[in-house]
Amino acid sequence: MVSRLKLFLPLILFAMLAITLFRGLSLDPREMPSALIDRPFPAFSLPRLNGTGLLSQADLKGQVSLLNVWATWCVACRVEHPYLKQLAQKGIPVFGLNYKDNDADAQRWLEELGDPYRFNIADHDGTLGLDLGVYGAPETYLVDAAGVIRYRHAGVLDQRVWDAVFQPLYQTLMAESGDQ
Amino acid sequence: MKSACLWCFGLLMLCPGPVQALVETYDFSNPELEVRYQDLTEELRCPKCQNQNIADSNAPIAQDLRRLLHQQLEDGNSNAEILDHMVARYGEFVRYRPSFGGVSIILWLAPALLLLAAFGVLLLALRSKSVVSNAGVASLSTEEQARLQSLLNKAEQDS
């Protein structure tokens, strides 16, 4: 009986290998969870884009919000932009982190394409980007009312990503902050 | 359609920042710092390009990390402090030599465990082989032994 089972050993090994490799094919290596999930938004003090005064992490608190990392040199951000405007129109607070960009270009971009952001943090040298673990634009962070990072999406935020991930999380967080 | 979208997305993700062909050089106040800088840039992984360390990568993020590394070395931070700082922001992913513990413990122990398992299989295979051959000898009954003996005797007489 046991020796019979042994005959199937190569087949079993093959099946296991096939399952492992098949799973490997469907995984996205870029889908890395942020190291800052469930941690408070890093402290910063940076100028407001096209405004006066400094912004800090305290300015993000008070409501469940999205923080979108963007730049005018980022082609994918242009693709994402109309969807951010839709979200803003629905009343979802969207903040911008203008990442390693120059103010004049960023200003022109917002004038031409519309401005979905409540305010923009001007991170010229990418220092806040480094503290956030940003590795490219666009990235979008979901921040809760207490200023804690709850989710990070690297890449374009579109209807599909919103429906699959952000919408359920956003609802949960809204319910949580409503309870408090 | 869906795969086309994914392709477009993939291509867009490749969009680089401002391209700079030159790799910057840093001045160190102490030659020992420069050696540590070289070691650390080879150990730290570029989060954007994934299969390059930050010494080899020219991605904007790798440049930023090199600048941060230089600054932290000059500030007198230890290697452990610098690695902790990087891991706190980019996760364990950023180290090519992950720390021993947590999820990465499986990475460290897997080679030894697999080697042990291989020896185990080898041992079992050798054992079962010798058991089979012994069993073959022992399975001759006394009757068969007697018959074998008579055949051998007969062969001897014939020759």
Residue-wise pLDDT for A41-83, tens only, equals 999 999 999 878 899 999 999 999 999 999 999 999 999 999 9
Residue-wise pLDDT for A72-112, tens only, equals 999 999 999 999 999 999 999 999 999 999 999 999 999 99
Domain boundaries, chain A: 35-179
Q: Do A36 and B90 touch (CB under 8 A)?
A: no
pTM: 0.73
Last residue of a domain, one of B81, B99, B117: B99
Q: For residue B8, what pLDDT is reported?
A: 53
pLDDT value at A117 more than 90: yes
Note whether B92 and B137 are same-domain residues. no
Q: How far apart are CA A12 and CA A19, in angstroms?
A: 11
Q: Is B127 on the interface with A (CB under 8 A)?
A: no
E strands in chain B: none
Residue-wise pLDDT for B137-146, tens only, equals 567 788 888 8
Reference A75, options B64, B13, B6, B61; nearest CA is: B13
The average confidence (pLDDT) of chain A is 90
Domains identified in chain B, total number: 2
Residue-wise pLDDT for B31-55, tens only, equals 999 999 999 999 999 888 878 899 9
Note whether B26 and B72 are same-domain residues. yes
Distance of residue A179 Cα from the nearest chain B Cα, in angstroms: 31
Q: What residue of B is the nearest CA neighbor of A42?
A: B89
Sign of the Cα torsion A24, A137, B91, A143 reads negative
B3, part of any domain: no
In A33-52, the residues whose Cβ lies within 8 Å of chain B are: 33-36
Note whether B43 and B86 are same-domain residues. yes
What is the domain extent for residue B68?
19-99
Of the two residues A6 and A31, the one the predictor is more confident about is: A6
Reference A115, options A79, A157, A84; nearest CA is: A84
Q: How far apart are CA B46 and CA B41, in angstroms?
A: 9
Note whether B95 and B109 are same-domain residues. no
In A108-167, the residues whose Cβ lies within 8 Å of chain B are: 126, 129-136, 155-156
Instruction: Name the residue facing B50 among A29, A36, A134 (closest C-beta).
Output: A29
Q: How far apart are CA A79 and CA A114, in angstroms?
A: 13
What is the complex's ipTM, to 2 decimals? 0.75
B2, part of any domain: no
Strand-pair partners of A149: A143
Q: Do A155 and B13 touch (CB under 8 A)?
A: yes
Q: Do A35 and B90 touch (CB under 8 A)?
A: yes
Note whether B31 and B91 are same-domain residues. yes
Distance of residue B147 Cα from the nearest chain A Cα, in angstroms: 31
In B13-52, the residues whose Cβ lies within 8 Å of chain A are: 13, 15, 17-18, 47-48, 50
Note whether B31 and B79 are same-domain residues. yes
Q: How far apart are CA B127 and CA B121, in angstroms?
A: 10
Q: What residue of B is the nearest CA neighbor of A73?
A: B17
Note whether B33 and B85 are same-domain residues. yes
B7, part of any domain: no
Reference A55, options A88, A87, A95, A93; nearest CA is: A95
Q: Is B119 on the interface with A (CB under 8 A)?
A: no
Note whether B78 and B128 are same-domain residues. no
Q: Is the peptide bond before B111 cis (omega within 30 degrees of 0)?
A: no
**Among 3.10.180.10, 3.30.450.30, 2.60.40.420, 3.40.30.10, what is the CATH number of A35-179?**
3.40.30.10
Q: Which chain A residues have a beta carbon less than 8 Å from that of B15?
A: 74-76
Last residue of a domain, one of B83, B99, B115: B99
CA distances from B54 to A28, A135, A160, B85, B94 (A): 21, 12, 33, 15, 10
